[in-house]
Structure 1
Amino acid sequence: MTTSLPPARTPGQYAVALVCLGNICRSPMADVVLQQRLGAAGLDDRVSVASCGTGDWHVGNPMDRRAAATLTTAGYDATRHRAQQLDASWFDRFDLLLEMDRSNLSDVRASTTEPDRAMLFRSFDPVDPGSEVPDPYYGGDNGFQEVLAMVERTTGALVAALTQHLTQGTERT
């Protein structure tokens, strides 16, 4: 499966935003994993990543303790995250906005003049493309483990797509 990326706003660079509802579970988990994978791929100087929520309930707070514990156990650094809210500036700063579920996708697309820059995060999932990342907030620890497995798998494919986009001349300006 090949999902094409929207064109970069700045040649040779790419900016990815990860979006969920409150920015304390799914999108920060994806943010942490994606940043680590980009570093391992040698793309951290060419691809910037941030996460946000469509709601403002948790702005300034660290990620959910269960999300942080799941990441830490898996060897990721979950300490730097502070929740942010999506605002109009994100639409100009990011080449791609990846939403965790269809509700977030609908909200983001309705708020931008470039709806093609928004797509589901799992559009890149090699196992179940186009599915949603379920919100683990109201469930148990197993939900966070499941989200991490989806995020890791999808992030691997996303890094491959970004690598191809940036190194094989497929970016358009």
Structure 2
Amino acid sequence: MYKIMFVCHGNICRSPMAEFIMKKLAAENGLSHELYISSAATSTEELGNPVYPPARAELASHGISCQGKYAVQLKKADYNSYDLFVGMDSANIRNMNRIFGSDKDGKIYKLLTFAGRSDDVSDPWYSGDFGKAYSDIDEGCRALLEKLRTDGLV
């Protein structure tokens, strides 16, 4: 089983959107049994809170439920439990490296790099544009799934 953790600042918008988009893609492609997908926050600000209502509504508009998801904290010990950590922006990448102490095994990536882009997933907490965030995350997750297939990991 290949284990992926999506990471953003608070784990109430972008990373849970990525978690549930990727779970849907895995299910649609018969890969649910080959992938373990989760998400976490680099901050402690939203711990225990559910997915932010506009993010939940955006997922629902695409037929995706995130029922039961609550923000959790990324921990140093997670590094040894997952194969891949996918941040939504450059600040998430810096914070993951800080939490883990380093990325000695090269497990940390920014989501849109899988889609051949160097930009960050727009943060809808500030922009209010949950549709744009969904579009970016969906593009990145589709490209990530293709990379996993190409690399023979699923």
TM-score normalised by length of structure 2: 0.92
Query: SS where residue 68 of structure 1 aligns?
Result: helix
Displacement of 1:106 in angstroms is: 0.9
Which of 118, 123, 129 aligns to 2:113? It is: 123
1:18-65 CA distance string (max 9 Å, x none): 000000000000000001101111111111111001011111111100
SS at match of 1:110: helix
Paired residue type of 1:114: D
Q: Using the alignment, how far apart are the partners of 2:145 and 2:123 within structure 1?
A: 23
Query: 1:32 and 1:38 mapped to 2: Cα distance?
Result: 10
The answer to whether structure 1 residue 159 and structure 2 residue 145 are counterparts is yes
CA distance in 2, matches of 1:58, 1:105: 19
Q: State the percentage of identical aligned residues.
A: 27
Any idea what the Cα deviations from partners look like across 1:54-104, whole Å, max 9, x if unmatched?
A: 011111111100000011011111212111110112111111101111111
Alignment map for 1:56-71 (pairs within 5 Å):
56-71=44-59
Give the Cα separation in 1 of the matches to 2:77 and 2:96: 12
Deviation at 1:167, TM superposition (A): 5.8
Please tell me the residue identity of whatever aligns with 1:153.
Answer: E
What SS does structure 2 have at the residue aligned with 1:17? Answer: strand
Q: Does the CA-based 8 Å contact 1:43-1:163 persist in structure 2?
A: no
Alpha-carbon distance in 1 for matches of 2:31, 2:150 = 11
Gaps of 5+ in 2: none
User: Which portions of structure 1, spanning 4 or more consecutive aligned residues, are displaced by more than 6 angstroms?
Assistant: none
Alpha-carbon distance in structure 1 between the residues aligned to 2:118 and 2:97: 16
Determine the structure 2 residue equivalent to 1:114: 103
Instruction: Give the distance between the partners of 1:26 and 1:16, measured in 2 at CA.
Output: 15
Structure 1 equivalent of residue 88 of structure 2: 100
- Provide structure 1 residue ranges, at least 5 long, that are not aligned to the other structure: 1-12, 169-173
Q: 2:73 is matched by which residue type in structure 1?
A: Q
Amino acid corresponding to residue 151 of structure 2 in structure 1: H
Greater C-alpha Rg: 1
